[in-house]
Structure 1
Amino acid sequence: MKKIVLLIAISTVFFACKKEVKNKAENNITENKKAISKYPDALDAIFNAHGGIDNWQKMKTLSFGLNKEEHTTDLHSRKTVINSADYSLGFDGKDVWVSDTTAYKKDPKFYYNLYFYFYAMPYVLADDGIIYSETTSLEFEGKKYPGIKISYKSNVGSSSDDNYYMYYDAVTKKMSWLGYTVTYFSKTASDKIKLIRYNDWEKVNGFLLPKSLTWYQKDTKGNPTKPDGKPIEFLLPLLSEKSLGVSFYQKPAK
């Protein structure tokens, strides 16, 4: 009888120790994951809902059609080319160039990566030099969307005073809205926030990318009210692990 009691006692201690070791191991794994990830938990969940940031970082070339233009970007160097029937412009890794300044009248330094940033959301929010913080939720049609504020360290990019406000669906974790400020022209911080709705997604090589975007008007509290114009549509998207040659992003010879 004493042996049976002893065996039961030993077994109880053994399984208790085993459970404790397992719990410690699981806690260590969780802590290691948190230590490895440099993004807020909410942003990690959003990346996962859209295809995963680790998978995205394996991609090298992104292309899409917009307003009779074809936009192509190297995702690692951010070299860019925009081609149209009348002109082409791009960034070769050092300089922004335009093939025909008589046909293209806008500011190429402002425009060359403008729609790339809107289209490559939320993945561009994993760039270096970003500071993440909490922001007030957005409300639309009785539904609240939690948000993350994105600001930049000094001297990051051409407009480090820009701020982005990314709002997401609390259940699906998909990105739903983007608020942003523009400081490129004024070179000073701004509190005038423009707002885009992201609610039309399509699968592109395993990733959720926007099929269209719609700018929205806001009320006095900053919440969206109604569309501010027609949606813009992205056509013929391409996402690849292959890189294009250096010459592709260079200014064409006359």
Structure 2
Amino acid sequence: MKKTAIVLLALAIGACKQDSKKEQIKENTQVMKVESAPMLPEALTKVFDAHGGLNAWRDQRTLIYEMPKTDFTETHTIDLWSRRDRVDTPQFSMGFDGKQVWLLDTDKTYKGDAGFYHNLMFYFYAMPFVLADDGINYGETEALEYEGKSYPGVSISYDSGVGTSPKDEYFIHFDPETNKMAWLGYTVTYRTGEVSDNVKWIRYDDWQEIDGLTLPKSITWHNYEGPKILDARSKVPFEGVVLSEAVKSHDFYSKPEGADFVEVKQN
């Protein structure tokens, strides 16, 4: 009887410990979820919802789109979770393997800065959803006035060490009637490392629905004089857009044979 009682007591204690451990794991998991949940402004949450919802965006893993140019078409592929990326053209390719940027350009036809360009258009294209990334700070900004209409907005800045240009600033402005994104203002500090008050403006008014998410069909840069937005300057179209929950292999984003790693300037 005593042995039986001891065994039962040991089993009971063990069960209590396991239950306690399960509760601790559950509690830790809940804490981690709370800590990782972004503190988004209500206005920005409404913008995400108007574009299909942040959760729906985060369910996707791979984004592909084409950008037709005068002499060729660029095909951009991005892993939305790891932010590995790849840009392919008939003349050259470039990408980010998760640690380093590489460039494959055997004929030396590419004249740009691959370290700056490899993911540049992704961040313009994936608006507004990339404004929920880690390391972002949100603030207030004055409404944008254009052709007699007022567009409320949210200012965005980055923590030190986030990305290659953490001193960049962004200003998202949205249509107060639909809550859809309407304008993006941004500064560029990549080449100088100095804070800039020269805000460039892109209009977002041409949308397409891809798997329930509203993404740009084209975006248009506008001329400007100080804070005043002027006429349209250049339009960039996006074609063949594909969103997928499937993941491409690491090898797809790795430096191919014949390519060179590119030094990326850090501000």
TM-score under structure 2 length normalisation: 0.79
Distance 2:99 2:238 in 1: 27
Kindly tell me: are residues 189 and 37 of structure 1, through their superposed partners in 2, closer, same or farther at Cα, counting changes over 3 Å? closer
AA aligned opposite 1:153 = D
Instruction: Please report how far the alpha carbon of residue 113 of structure 1 lies from its aligned counterpart in structure 2 after TM superposition.
Output: 0.5
Q: 2:158, 2:168 within 8 Å by CA — same for their partners in 1? A: yes
- Give the one of 191, 195, 205 matched to 1:189: 195
- Segments of 4+ moved more than 4 angstroms: none
Residue-by-residue CA offset, 1:36-92 (whole Å, 9 max, x unaligned) = 661000000000000100111111000100131000000011000000001100000
Q: 2:142, 2:152 within 8 Å by CA — same for their partners in 1? A: yes
1:12 counterpart residue number: none
Kindly tell me: are residues 204 and 63 of structure 1, through their superposed partners in 2, closer, same or farther at Cα, counting changes over 3 Å? same
2:97 counterpart residue number: 92
Pair 1:136-2:142 in alignment: yes
Distance 2:165 2:216 in 1: 24
Pair 1:62-2:63 in alignment: yes
Distance 2:128 2:228 in 1: 20
Kindly tell me: are residues 137 and 89 of structure 1, through their superposed partners in 2, closer, same or farther at Cα, counting changes over 3 Å? same
Residue-by-residue CA offset, 1:105-138 (whole Å, 9 max, x unaligned) = 2111100010000000000000000000010111
1:244 counterpart residue number: 248
Write the mapping of 1:47-126 to structure 2, written as runs, cut at 5 A. 47-66=48-67, 67=69, 68-100=73-105, 102-126=108-132
Distance 2:178 2:168 in 1: 28
1:228 counterpart residue number: 233
Distance 1:239 1:168 in 2: 24
AA aligned opposite 1:212 = S
AA aligned opposite 2:119 = N
Q: 2:38, 2:132 within 8 Å by CA — same for their partners in 1? A: no
1:159 counterpart residue number: 165
- Other structure's SS at 1:224 match: strand
Q: 2:62, 2:247 within 8 Å by CA — same for their partners in 1? A: yes
- Other structure's SS at 2:121 match: helix
AA aligned opposite 2:177 = V
AA aligned opposite 1:71 = H
- Other structure's SS at 1:136 match: coil
Query: Structure 1 vs Structure 2: percent identity of aligned residues?
Result: 48
Instruction: Please report how far the alpha carbon of residue 252 of structure 1 lies from its aligned counterpart in structure 2 after TM superposition.
Output: 1.6
- Other structure's SS at 2:152 match: strand
Q: 1:138, 1:223 within 8 Å by CA — same for their partners in 2? A: no
Distance 2:157 2:76 in 1: 26
AA aligned opposite 1:247 = D
Q: 1:213, 1:232 within 8 Å by CA — same for their partners in 2? A: yes
Instruction: Please report how far the alpha carbon of residue 218 of structure 1 lies from its aligned counterpart in structure 2 after TM superposition.
Output: 2.1
Distance 2:152 2:44 in 1: 11
Moved more, 97-106 or 76-85: 97-106
Unmatched 5+ residue regions in structure 2? 1-33, 259-267
Residue-by-residue CA offset, 1:184-205 (whole Å, 9 max, x unaligned) = 0001111111000000000011
Residue-by-residue CA offset, 1:142-168 (whole Å, 9 max, x unaligned) = 000001000001111110000000000
TM-score under structure 1 length normalisation: 0.83
